[in-house]
Amino acid sequence: MTERMDLLTDEQMAQFITKGYLVLKNDLPEQLHQKVRDKIYKVIHEEGNPGNNILPRVPEIQQFFETPVVRGALTSILGEDYYMHPHRHCHYNRPGNPTPGGGKWHKDGYWSSLRSHRPWWAILFYYTQDITEELGPTAIMPGTQYYEKFLGDKGETLLPTGKAGTMVLVHFDLWHKATLNVSELDRYMLKFQFVRLKAPDRPSWDHRNPGMTVPDGMPAQHPELWKDVWDWLRGDQDSGVRSSDWTAGKVEEIGNNLGSSSEIEALNAAYALGRMGSSGVEELVKHLGNGSKQVAERASYGLQPAGAQAIPFVQPLLSHPDDFCRGLACFVIGMMGPAAREAVPSLVSCLEDESEWVRRNAVEALGMIGKPYSVSVQAVTETLQRSVEQEADEVALNSGDMYVGQQKYIINKVGYTAALSLLRIGKYGEEEIVIRGLEQALTSRDRYVRAYASEALTQLRTDKAVEVLIRYYRTSRWCPDTSKASTF
């Protein structure tokens, strides 16, 4: 793997923030792409789709993600220590299939308890063959990553095409869908997901100009939202003007727009209030605590650009009688990152909350804030261990929590999130305590808890961590040559 990286430019970052995608190209030998295609064809047609195991089943795929282009792009958007998520999939689009991939516009199922406007996650769609519109590429709808509702005919449809090695890097929440393959060839698209492990403290791309320039032809629909993402990625979250010189009537008028049927208007209201100083923060907190579920979520996003000044207003909501509100308060505080360290003791108390939704948001927030590490790491580790121990109790594991119950692909939601938080901050805690918790997590019923735990141990790389990993890999290693056609 080369150490060189092709970092993104300011212009490319601006496109990703506003439009939610970039089309990139790997310059790799055709023989490598052909070899991977041949192996994928054999696996899918003889064994079925291997799902998450596509990488160990076809290990040559890893070379696609070690190029200067891919490493530079992912580093630019997710930071230098980004992590390849254990969920990945080969999307097979056969000729004549009338409903490829279900045939509907959608966002991918997400891994946190709430979607994030800021890029904590990203998806890479990779084509191992020359991709034309006839082959049925994955269609994307630029600029829709911030919308919960599908725009329908109001949105623009884009069909990225190109030579083998073409890839589309998208914001995790961009609307997309498979399209009809009207050719006579099988089409394979590799979908891999990546996650950011810490909030940015400086730009990680080839950054030259402090201000973001909106791409030509892009309507300036969300200037405050885009500015928040840009500033956050620069590690300059508190750069926005936060004037408190606003009349109560004007602030309330904008606050009422949080309930607008127009998602564009509602998001603009949320982010505008986040930059109106204490009066805007108080208006957002009011709606977070008393608004409908939809309005409260919009308010939580608007509080992010307010920065550290919002924490004293949000922290009391951790004791709100409604568990949905308590969970949103945890989410907001976590998104503040290290600036929210004063709230760590309160978040630790939330780990005992009766609501799974609240516990999950609290344990994720601790991983995003980090310091003081001694307190956060121990609390997260204990939460992870407790959640794994409770897996034998079906009632405890399947709490019926209405806010996270739809994520059926995550068996142990609190444990999953705690393991991710330890991947983020475990290396800063007391080694013996952390390794003991991670070793227990390797016995979890949840595949993603195990994956995060093994990666966290890999990051530690101490003698004890390596010893635990070796024992684990002796029974879990994958042989790419073994299949039902060749069992030994």
Q: Are 365 and 397 found together in one domain?
A: yes
CATH number where 141 lies: 2.60.120.620
Q: Are 245 and 393 found together in one domain?
A: no
Q: Are 351 and 462 found together in one domain?
A: yes
CATH number where 336 lies: 1.25.10
Q: What is the pLDDT of residues 344-402, one digit of tens each?
A: 999 999 999 999 999 999 999 999 998 888 899 999 999 999 999 999 776 556 555 66
Q: Are 397 and 476 found together in one domain?
A: yes
Total domains present in the chain? 3
Q: Cis before residue 316, ω within 30 degrees of 0?
A: no
Q: What is the pLDDT of residues 104-163, one digit of tens each?
A: 999 998 888 889 999 999 999 999 999 999 999 999 999 999 999 999 989 999 999 999
Q: Are 314 and 167 found together in one domain?
A: no
Q: Are 353 and 313 found together in one domain?
A: no
Residue with tokens 């449809």: 157
Q: Which residues of 31-41 are buried (b: 16+ CB within 10 A; e: fewer)?
A: ebbeebbebbe
Q: Are 34 and 154 found together in one domain?
A: yes
Q: Are 277 and 326 found together in one domain?
A: no
Say if residues 239 and 229 touch (Cβ distance below 8 Å).
no
**Structural domain boundaries, residue 16:** 10-195
Residue with tokens 């998104």: 335
Q: Are 51 and 189 found together in one domain?
A: yes
Q: Are 352 and 479 found together in one domain?
A: yes
Any domain includes 407: yes
**Closest to 299 measured CA to CA, from 255, 240, 336, 243:** 255
Which of 319, 345, 379 is where one domain is finished?
319
Any domain includes 51: yes
Which of 290, 319, 348 is where one domain is finished?
319
pLDDT score for 112: 84
Any domain includes 232: no
Average pLDDT over residues 22-32: 98
Q: Are 385 and 468 found together in one domain?
A: yes
Any domain includes 356: yes
Which of 291, 319, 347 is where one domain is finished?
319
Q: Are 297 and 397 found together in one domain?
A: no
Q: What is the pLDDT of residues 161-199, one digit of tens each?
A: 999 999 999 999 999 999 999 999 999 999 999 999 999
CB atoms under 10 Å from CB of 149, counted, come to: 10
Provide the percentage of residues in the chain whose pLDDT is more than 90.
85
pLDDT score for 113: 83
Q: What is the pLDDT of residues 419-442, one digit of tens each?
A: 999 999 999 999 999 999 999 999
Residue 403 has pLDDT above 80, yes or no: no
